[in-house]
A and B are shown apart, each in its own frame.
Chain A
């Protein structure tokens, strides 16, 4: 699972799921983040709470190089500093108003976030590229049991889905929720990718029902 002792980065989303000019909610061990990509393509992870009235910034909108809150339109730059308060157009917002952004990077189509600067970049997966992200209402143990495989020392789960080899990047979110990014061979055909994706949904059902049974006992 991620993050772990060897990798402090958390995989939070697929690059393809955050096109330029959009924002999505994501999760890190430090807390919820609003993950957004500016018009010019720069990625940022802001704390998912506007300091003004507590509104989730992941419900906001991206304009140019800034993320704006949907409630009152306060906008924030890539460094987290508040740039503009529309109710007071002539006011220069004080530097203390800040969304406390984390550090982001992208590698091979995966977005990684970390709280403090790291010497090591996030890992590479040897020709395996991300297919989709999923949320399991199940523990990581239930996921491993359903996949018939355990995470290796690097945190990666290698298993077979739809007859193909797949890699799973799992992130524990609370006791009974796991975020899973599914990776497939870069050269997999469309039919193989669909088979892996559908097998991923079956894996989710298996893991969730295993946890539900355990909960009932």
Chain B
């Protein structure tokens, strides 16, 4: 496999749920085993017994089949005191891991897929926002994103215009910062960590770091799982299943600037696991 995605870090388990017996899973088509070996220690091994590098961060166990050239990306907000860290769990989706990330970066679908929750007609317009590939960090960023939401979060009582920022620090991970209703001026953090099982099958591990002192943990998890299950009904019905990186196969508009930058960034790095390169 010459794809440089092999050297990236991927989530493969929830740390809080991992015991000594561990779990068998798949990473980029390779069977691996992940298990707890101590109170703060885990091991990941390939079928032939080769040990893989591991990290425990953001509630998840991370590993790589290759030789990571960079440390796992930082989410500075994750360590801020007062945030509730929410392990949402896992949603298996029969789609390309890259399609799952691209859907997470999209706001225009809110009124149609997350109707009356994250969006509602007639509030469908996507205003112009800023997108850039930050060269120093080598990350895709979208800022000044705004959208009207009937119920932006579990803690939101009525409709508000929500501000967003999106960040793609790794090919199958995205971090979303959004207006935090109980604390104006702060950002809630919602992440999408995607484990590529194969090029057309993935496990999606959402994770959150919220300023929400009131909501029941179960309700927070249910809210986020409902959102991702609505997304799954879309992701499993897109044709082709892989993300087309060649222009011409799909037609973006100005609302899709984040997606356009993400595809361009993937192509530039030759991150093609889960991509379709030749229009068919």
Contacts and interface: CB of A to CB of B under 8 A. Distances in A.
A54 B111 contact: no
Contact of A71 (B112, B125, B126, B255): B112
A141 to B, nearest CB: 30
Interface stretch (A14-22, A81-89, A154-162): A81-89
A72 B126 CA distance: 11
A157 to B, nearest CB: 32
B117 interface: no
Interface string B83-113: 0000000000000000000000000110111
Given A49-B239, A56-B237, A88-B255, A72 B109 contact: yes
Given A87-B253, A88-B126, A89-B125, A72 B108 contact: yes
B161 interface: no
A53 B113 contact: no
A86 B121 CA distance: 9
A89 B112 contact: no
A88 B250 contact: no
A72 B112 contact: yes
Contacts of B251: 51-52, 96-97
Interface string A39-73: 00000000011011111100100000000011111
A110 B154 CA distance: 49
Contacts, number: 64
B238 A73 contact: no
Nearest to A94: B251
Interface in B237-272: 237-240, 244, 249-255
A200 B39 CA distance: 61
Give the interface residue-count category, chain B.
20 to 34
A87 B234 CA distance: 18
Contact of A70 (B126, B234, B254): B234
A53 B108 CA distance: 12
Contact of B112 (A56, A73, A85, A88): A73
Contact of B254 (A56, A73, A88): A88
Contacts of A69: 112
A96 B121 CA distance: 26
B124 A54 contact: no
A86 B111 contact: yes
Given A71-B109, A73-B111, A88-B255, A55 B125 contact: no
Contact of A55 (B111, B124, B234, B252): B234
A53 B237 contact: no
A88 B126 CA distance: 7
B238 A87 contact: no
Contacts of B234: 55, 70-71
Contacts of B113: 70-71
Nearest to B126: A87
A70 B238 CA distance: 11
B122 to A, nearest CB: 8
Contact of B238 (A53, A85, A89, A96): A53
A54 B126 contact: no
Contacts of B250: 51-54
A91 B251 CA distance: 15
Contact of A54 (B112, B238, B253): B238
Contacts of A85: 253
A55 B255 contact: no
A51 B249 CA distance: 8
B93 to A, nearest CB: 14
Contacts of B108: 72, 86-87
Contacts of B237: 55-56, 59
Contact of A56 (B121, B124, B239): B239
B238 to A, nearest CB: 4
Given A52-B250, A72-B108, A86-B125, 7 more contacts: A52-B252, A56-B239, A73-B112, A87-B108, A87-B125, A96-B251, A97-B251
25 contacts: A52-B251, A52-B252, A53-B238, A53-B250, A54-B239, A54-B240, A54-B249, A55-B237, A55-B239, A56-B237, A59-B237, A70-B112, A71-B113, A72-B108, A72-B109, A73-B112, A73-B124, A85-B253, A86-B124, A86-B125, A87-B108, A87-B124, A87-B126, A87-B253, A88-B254
Interface of A: 48-49, 51-56, 59, 69-73, 85-89, 91, 96-97
